[in-house]
C-alpha cells in the first residue's frame, strides 16, 4: 500500500508566546506544514526526516532572568535552519555568545526598521526603511561570533542578525503580525530561500494524505461510526472518511431538539440527498425535553444534555457492533491545548462529551493536524455546500445555553425565530465570514412595552456578535447601525412575545462568548 505523502515541516518552538499559534498559521499560509512543539523538546525529537527548519517563537520572559525558558544547545548542532523571533532572537544571541541587555526603556508597538545589510537573506527586495511591530524590553547589544547585524531600530541596536554559514537568522520584531509591513514576505524568504521548503501543504494534498491514512488505519473491511453534529468539523471529517471508505461509514445525527431553525433538515439533505452518506437520524427531542424540564442551572443543563447524548449514542452503537472505529472532528488547536494524545482506545473525549468506558472503539481523527480555516478549505475542496463549510461555531448543548433559565417549547420557538433573523440579516449584509459568531439570546426576564397602543409584557432578545481568530479571546463586533436597526425591527415585528432588542457589547474576557 502506498505510503502517505510526507510534507516538508517547520517546527515552531514555543517559548510561551501569545503568537506561537499565529506563526504556525502564517507558515501554513505559505503552503508549508507547521507544528508547534514545546521548548523542552530534546534535539532528537526535532531532527525528524520531514523537519526542514525551526522557528523560535517570542515569549513573555527576559532571557536574563533565572528560570527563563531555554532550549537544549544541542539543537544548534542539528544543522537545521533557524529563525528566531523576539524572545527567540535574544535567546539565540545569548546562547551563542552574544550580549542581551536591558536598555532601560522598552519598544512596544509600531517601530521603524532600518536595514543595514541590504543583501541579508531575510530581506530580499524590501525597502531600506519599513514599519514593523515590536514588543520587548531587553535588546541584543552585541552579536555572537560568526554573526552580523542586518537591521536596527530606535530601540534595538541589533533588530536583526544572521549567520549565513550556520543558516541562523533572527529578528527582534514580529513578522507574523499584520502590523509588520511585508512580514509574510520575510517569513517566505526564510522558508523558501534559506530553508528550501516545498509548498505542498494544500487542500488537495491534505485530502489525498488523510484518505490514505484512513484507509491504512481502518483496513479493507473496517466499519466506522461518526457522531455528526452538523457543524463544519464533524461534517468535513465525515465527508473525508466517506471518500476513503465509502459505505463502510455510518453517521449518527442525534437531534436533541435544541438546534437552530431548519438545521436538522439541512443536515439530512446535505448528507443523504447530496453526498449519499448513510445517516442514522435519531429524533430524540422529547427525550431531551423530558430530562431538561424544570432545570435552570446552566451546568446541570450541560450535564443532562451530555449524558443523554451518550445514552442515545450508545443505543445506536449497539446496533452497529461491527463498527470498531469512531470519527471525531478534533482540530489542531485541540491537540495543542490538551497535549499529545496517547492510546486510541476511547474512555472519554471532549469532542463527544465523554463516551462510556465499555466502548471498545479506535479513534479516527482526520482533521487533527488542521486549523479551522484549513478545515473550511478542505471542506470546499471536498464539495460540501457553503452553508455547511461556513457555518458558525455552535455549542454542543445548542440553544440550551442561549436560553437563560428553564427550557420550554415556547421559549425555544421564540429563540429559534429570533436567531434565524440574526443569521439572515448577517448573510444579507455580507458579513458572515467577518463575524466569528452571531446569534440571539433569550434572557429569563420580561419587560414592559407598547405595541398598537396597548401595554405588553414580553421578552427582550439579546443580539450577540463577536469577532475572533480562535475563540480564546473575542471582541464585540461593530455592526453598522442600520443593520442593528433592521435586526431590532424584524425581531420585534416577526417574533411573537418579544418587545425589546438589546446588543451585547462585552468582550471576552471578562465575558464569555456564550451566555451560559
Catalytic residue numbers?
86, 174, 176
Q: From CA 406, how far away is CA 321, in angstroms rounded?
A: 37
Q: What secondary structure does DSSP assign to 496-507, as a single string?
A: TTEEEEEE----
Quick check: 43 and 71 in contact, CB under 8 A?
no
Q: Quick one: cell of 211?
A: 484518505
Q: From CA 482, how far away is CA 397, in angstroms rounded?
A: 32
- Count, residues in the chain: 516
Quick check: 194 and 167 in contact, CB under 8 A?
yes
Quick check: 306 and 354 in contact, CB under 8 A?
yes
Q: From CA 270, how far away is CA 277, in angstroms rounded?
A: 9
Strand partners, 109: 134
Q: From CA 21, how far away is CA 371, in angstroms rounded?
A: 10
Report the half-sphere exposure of 453 (CA within 13 A, side-chain side): 0
CA distances (Å), origin 219, targets 154, 212, 248, 362: 61, 10, 11, 12
- List phi, psi (to 5°) of 113: -90, 130
- List phi, psi (to 5°) of 361: -130, 155
Nearest to 323 by CA among 193, 227, 427: 227
Is residue 386 helix, strand or coil?
helix
- List phi, psi (to 5°) of 88: -60, -35
The residue behind cell 552579536 is: 143
Q: With DSSP H G I counted as helix, E B as strand and the rest as coil, what are the percentages for the chain, rounded to 5? A: 35, 25, 40
Q: From CA 428, how far away is CA 483, in angstroms rounded?
A: 10
Q: From CA 223, how far away is CA 243, in angstroms rounded?
A: 14
Q: What secondary structure does DSSP assign to 417-475, as a single string?
A: HHHHHHHHHHHHTT-TTT-SEEEEEB-S--EEEEETTEEEEEEEEEEEEEE-SSSSSBE
Q: Is 104 exposed, middle or buried (0-12, 13-18, 19+ CB in 10 A)?
A: exposed
Amino acid at each position: 500500500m502506498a505510503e502517505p505523502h510526507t510534507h516538508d515541516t517547520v517546527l515552531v518552538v514555543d517559548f510561551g508566546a501569545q503568537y506561537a499559534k499565529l506563526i504556525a498559521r502564517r507558515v501554513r499560509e505559505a503552503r508549508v506544514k507547521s507544528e508547534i512543539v514545546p521548548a523542552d523538546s530534546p534535539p532528537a525529537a526535532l531532527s525528524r526526516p520531514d523537519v526542514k527548519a525551526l522557528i523560535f517563537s517570542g515569549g513573555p520572559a527576559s532571557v536574563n532572568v533565572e528560570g527563563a525558558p531555554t532550549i537544549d544547545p544541542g539543537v544548534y548542532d542539528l544543522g537545521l535552519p533557524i529563525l528566531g523571533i523576539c524572545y527567540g532572537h535574544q535567546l539565540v544571541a545569548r546562547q551563542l555568545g552574544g550580549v542581551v541587555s536591558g536598555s532601560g526603556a522598552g519598544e512596544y508597538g509600531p517601530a521603524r526598521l532600518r536595514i543595514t545589510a541590504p543583501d541579508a537573506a531575510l530581506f530580499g527586495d524590501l525597502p531600506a526603511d519599513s514599519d514593523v511591530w515590536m514588543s520587548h524590553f531587553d535588546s541584543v547589544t552585541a552579536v555572537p561570533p560568526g554573526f552580523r547585524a542586518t537591521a536596527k531600530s530606535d530601540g534595538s541596536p541589533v533588530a536583526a542578525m544572521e549567520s549565513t554559514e550556520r543558516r541562523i537568522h533572527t529578528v527582534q520584531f514580529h513578522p507574523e503580525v499584520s502590523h509588520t509591513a511585508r512580514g509574510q514576505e520575510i517569513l517566505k524568504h526564510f522558508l523558501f530561500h534559506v530553508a528550501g521548503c516545498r509548498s505542498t501543504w494544500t487542500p488537495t494534498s491534505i485530502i489525498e494524505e488523510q484518505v490514505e491514512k484512513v484507509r491504512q488505519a481502518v483496513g479493507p473491511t473496517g466499519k466506522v461510526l461518526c457522531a455528526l453534529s452538523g457543524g463544519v468539523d464533524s461534517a468535513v471529517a465525515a465527508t473525508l472518511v466517506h471518500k476513503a471508505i465509502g459505505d463502510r461509514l455510518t453517521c449518527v445525527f442525534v437531534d436533541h431538539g435544541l438546534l437552530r431553525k431548519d438545521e436538522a433538515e439541512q443536515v439530512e439533505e446535505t448528507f443523504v440527498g447530496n453526498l449519499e452518506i448513510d445517516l442514522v437520524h435519531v429524533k430524540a427531542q422529547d427525550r431531551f425535553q423530558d430530562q431538561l424540564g424544570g432545570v435552570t442551572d446552566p451546568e446541570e443543563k450541560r450535564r443532562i444534555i451530555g449524558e443523554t447524548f451518550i445514552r442515545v449514542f450508545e443505543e445506536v452503537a449497539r446496533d452497529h457492533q461491527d463498527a470498531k472505529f469512531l470519527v471525531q472532528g478534533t482540530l489542531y488547536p485541540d491537540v495543542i491545548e490538551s497535549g499529545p494524545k496517547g492510546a486510541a482506545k476511547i474512555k472519554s473525549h471532549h469532542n463527544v462529551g465523554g463516551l462510556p468506558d465499555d466502548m471498545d472503539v479506535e479513534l479516527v481523527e482526520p482533521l487533527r493536524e488542521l486549523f479551522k480555516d484549513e478545515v473550511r478549505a478542505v471542506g470546499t475542496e471536498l464539495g460540501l455546500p457553503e452553508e455547511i463549510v461556513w457555518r458558525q461555531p455552535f455549542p454542543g448543548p445548542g440553544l440550551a445555553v442561549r436560553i437563560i433559565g428553564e427550557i420550554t417549547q415556547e421559549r425555544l420557538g421564540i429563540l429559534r425565530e429570533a436567531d434565524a433573523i440574526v443569521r439572515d440579516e448577517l448573510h444579507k449584509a455580507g458579513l458572515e465570514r467577518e463575524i466569528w459568531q452571531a446569534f440571539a439570546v433569550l434572557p429569563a426576564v420580561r419587560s414592559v412595552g407598547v405595541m398598537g397602543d396597548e401595554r405588553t409584557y414580553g421578552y427582550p432578545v439579546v443580539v450577540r456578535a463577536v469577532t475572533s481568530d480562535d475563540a480564546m479571546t473575542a471582541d464585540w463586533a461593530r455592526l453598522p447601525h442600520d443593520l442593528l436597526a433592521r435586526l431590532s425591527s424584524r425581531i420585534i415585528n416577526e417574533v411573537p412575545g418579544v418587545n425589546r432588542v438589546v446588543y451585547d457589547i462585552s468582550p471576552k474576557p471578562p465575558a464569555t462568548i456564550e451566555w451560559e
